[in-house]
């Protein structure tokens, strides 16, 4: 899985003041130029902006004033893969005391003949403010977030008849991270819920799907092997979030 390299001038202290009730709040996207993505929290205390990096050391994550959008600070997040695109998740976790958990989604995609695939990886960071200064932690979590494949399945009129006009097999994986009760140290516990589906229901990536399908198979069937829940807790020793146990082998959904 691709990783970020965080380039900062000094080590970042990840400790925060404990809070009783962290909450998830909307992180609203604003319209902007191509390759520039800006999201603001509802009360407009600040905005974050991602933009295409001009060179290896230039900042591409900016903190901006939420009222006039003037830049306050900047950091450099450098992907290993030059072809990856980056977006903010649409929610941010407000820890209180001007501390936030922010999620940056790394998007990779490819095209097939008559189809395509994409994979999103979630990278979690802590953003904190002390006085007028902002600090960004090292990466706290790196985990699969979404995967999608669309594979062409019709190559003739007979195929279209045999498949009732459904000419693509679709395989999807999506996850949601929410706040759980309790905390480990000063960071809230999190829950990771993942759902994987196949469409039509009879289709599988590891078998030949060039056969007639029944009308009764025209629905999205959950792949129970890749539909699961994991607890995520902060490990004070390594200063990162860890899953309570590994995720299942769902690579068919999460690789090209």
The confidence score (pLDDT) of residue 13 equals 43
Q: Around 18, how many Cα atoms within 13 Å sit in the side-chain half-sphere? A: 7
φ, ψ of residue 209 in degrees (nearest 5):
-100, 10
Question: CA-to-CA distance for 23 and 29, rounded, in angstroms?
Answer: 19
Length of the chain: 256
| Burial track 100-134 (b if 16+ CB lie within 10 A, e otherwise) | bbbbbbbebeeeeeebbbbbbbbbbbbbbbeeeeb
Residue-by-residue DSSP string for 233-247: EEETTTTEEEESSPP
Q: What is the dihedral of CA 102, 105, 106, 111, to 10 degrees?
A: -170
Q: DSSP code of 9?
A: S
Structure-token match 């480990």, residue found: 184
| Per-residue pLDDT at 67 | 83
> Residue 105 in contact with residue 141, Cβ under 8 Å?
no
How many helices (DSSP H) and strands (DSSP E) are in the chain? Answer: 2, 17
Distance of CA 180 to the CA centre of its chain: 18
**Could you tell me if 247 and 144 are in contact, meaning their C-beta atoms sit under 8 angstroms apart?**
yes
Q: Tokens 């004070």 sit at which residue?
A: 236
* pLDDT for position 157: 92
pTM: 0.84
In angstroms, how far is CA 3 from the centroid of its own chain? 13
- Contact between 13 and 3 under an 8 Å Cβ cutoff? The reply is no
pLDDT for residue 55: 59
Residues of the chain with confidence (pLDDT) below 70: 1-20, 53-59, 78-82, 185
Q: What is the pLDDT of residue 57?
A: 55
The closest of 96, 100, 35 to 63, measured between CA atoms, is: 100
72, β-bridge pairs = none
* Digit-coded pLDDT (tens) for 140-179: 999 999 999 999 888 999 999 999 999 999 999 999 999 9
Give the burial string for 20-50 (b: 16+ CB within 10 Å, else e): eebeeeebeeeeeeeeebbbbbeeeebbbbb
pLDDT single digits (tens) 179-205: 998 887 679 999 999 999 999 999 988
């Amino acid at each position: 899985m691709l990783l970020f390299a965080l380039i900062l001038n000094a080590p970042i202290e990840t400790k925060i003041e404990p809070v009783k009730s962290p909450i998830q709040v909307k992180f609203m996207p604003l319209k902007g130029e191509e390759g520039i993505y800006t999201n603001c929290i509802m009360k407009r205390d600040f905005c974050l902006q991602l933009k295409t990096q001009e060179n290896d050391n230039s900042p591409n994550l900016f903190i901006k004033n939420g009222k006039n959008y003037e830049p306050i600070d900047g950091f450099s997040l450098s992907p290993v893969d030059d072809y990856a695109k980056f977006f903010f998740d649409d929610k941010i976790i407000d820890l209180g005391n001007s501390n936030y958990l922010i999620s940056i989604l790394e998007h990779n995609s490819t095209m097939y003949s008559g189809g395509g695939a994409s994979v999103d990886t979630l990278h979690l960071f802590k953003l904190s403010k002390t006085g007028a200064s902002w600090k960004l932690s090292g990466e706290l979590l790196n985990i699969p977030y979404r995967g999608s494949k669309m594979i062409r399945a019709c190559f003739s009129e007979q195929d279209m008849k045999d498949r009732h006009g459904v000419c693509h097999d679709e395989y999807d994986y999506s996850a949601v991270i929410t706040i759980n009760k309790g905390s480990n140290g000063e960071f809230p516990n999190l829950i990771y819920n993942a759902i994987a589906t196949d469409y039509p229901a009879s289709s599988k990536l590891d078998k030949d799907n060039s056969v007639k399908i029944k009308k009764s198979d025209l629905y999205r069937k959950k792949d129970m092997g890749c539909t699961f829940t994991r607890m995520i807790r902060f490990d004070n020793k390594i200063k990162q979030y860890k899953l309570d146990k590994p995720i299942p082998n769902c690579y068919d959904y999460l690789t090209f």
